[in-house]
């Protein structure tokens, strides 16, 4: 299995970056685009990195925030065949704590061609013997919403992240879980699904470098999971927890890993 980071907040390569995430994943049977960053950068970097987006056979959106799904419409225009798998809640009304809208462009839904490409998910779903869509369970540990909000019936509430979903890839006896931001809580996600490998953000970027973050790191280290983290983990937070989590790696933009 091959994973190429097309968009991430940081890069050791001479590439333009943005706050966002997009991964290209090659398995034995599939070519997957997981998230699309904020807009056009995923396509720009795919060309630089030799990734053929027209060959992608499945596009997967982790959740309904602009920095993960901002390029969905562009992808649907570049690739005319791959289904775009999104949660039924992906096009909700999502906001930062300061009131800034961070959801997807709802006007895209007025485009029938785009709308017809969407495959809406409502729960766990096995796609084939290699891929499975997973959705959140009841939280074991409350890790907060980092100030993120959802608007329902005209009022703002702490986001419950029911628009989040995860992609599990089973290959050669290993369970590899891809998570965009782990808004439901990285500890909960590991407890729910017990992956051998997890790739994705931990959403620690708003955490202070304190005892609570140390506790989370020690909990992560207690599992047998190998981690490739990125994006919303935060670079300062990553440096803080790196000595505490033995199987922790960083996946920056332009990096490629083979599992």
pLDDT tens per residue, range 203-247: 999 999 999 999 999 999 999 999 999 999 999 999 999 999 999
What is the SS3 assignment for 6?
strand
Q: Per-residue pLDDT tens for 53-67?
A: 999 999 999 999 999
Fold of 2-258: Metallo-beta-lactamase; Chain A (3.60.15)
Quote the mean pLDDT of the chain: 97
| Residue 185 Rama label (left phi>0; alpha psi -120 to 50; beta) | left
Please write the tens of the pLDDT for every residue from 27-54: 999 999 999 999 999 999 999 999 999 9
Integer-rounded Cα Rg, in Å, for the chain is: 17
Percent of the chain with pLDDT over 90: 98
C-alpha count within 13 angstroms, C-beta hemisphere, residue 66: 14
Instruction: Yes or no: say if 25 and 2 are a contact pair by the CB < 8 Å rule.
Output: yes
Alpha carbon distance, N-terminus to C-terminus of the chain: 5
- Tell me the C-alpha distance between 38 and 70, whole Å: 4
């017990």: which residue's tokens? 194
Residue 200 contacts residue 158 (beta carbons within 8 Å): no
Distance CA 150, CA 178 (A): 24
Structure-block tokens of residue 226: 């190998």
pLDDT at 245: 98
Whether the predicted pLDDT of 119 surpasses 90: yes
Query: Residue 43: helix, strand or coil by DSSP?
Result: helix
% the chain with pLDDT above 70: 100
């Amino acid at each position: 299995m091959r994973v190429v980071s097309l968009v991430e907040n940081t890069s050791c390569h001479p590439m333009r970056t943005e706050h966002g995430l997009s991964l290209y994943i090659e398995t034995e049977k599939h070519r997957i685009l997981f998230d699309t960053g904020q807009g056009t950068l995923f396509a720009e970097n795919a060309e630089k990195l030799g990734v053929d987006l027209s060959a992608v056979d499945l596009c997967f959106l982790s959740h309904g925030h602009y920095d993960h799904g901002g390029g969905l419409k562009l992808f649907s225009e570049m690739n005319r065949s791959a289904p775009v798998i999104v949660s039924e809640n992906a096009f909700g009304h999502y906001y930062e704590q300061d009131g800034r809208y961070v959801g997807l462009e709802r006007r895209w839904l007025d485009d029938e061609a785009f709308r017809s490409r969407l495959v809406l998910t409502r729960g766990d779903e096995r796609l084939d013997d290699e891929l499975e869509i997973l959705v959140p369970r009841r939280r074991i540990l409350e890790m907060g919403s980092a100030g993120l909000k959802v608007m329902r019936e005209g009022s703002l509430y702490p986001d419950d992240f029911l628009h989040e979903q995860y992609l599990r890839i089973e290959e050669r006896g290993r369970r590899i879980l891809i998570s965009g931001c782990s808004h439901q809580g990285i500890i909960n996600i590991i407890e729910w699904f017990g992956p051998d490998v997890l790739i994705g953000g931990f959403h620690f970027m708003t955490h202070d470098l304190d005892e609570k973050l140390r506790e989370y790191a020690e909990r992560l280290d207690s599992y047998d999971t190998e981690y490739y983290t990125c994006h919303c983990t935060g670079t300062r937070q990553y440096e803080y927890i790196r000595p505490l989590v033995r199987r922790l790696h960083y996946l920056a933009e332009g990096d490629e890993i083979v599992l």
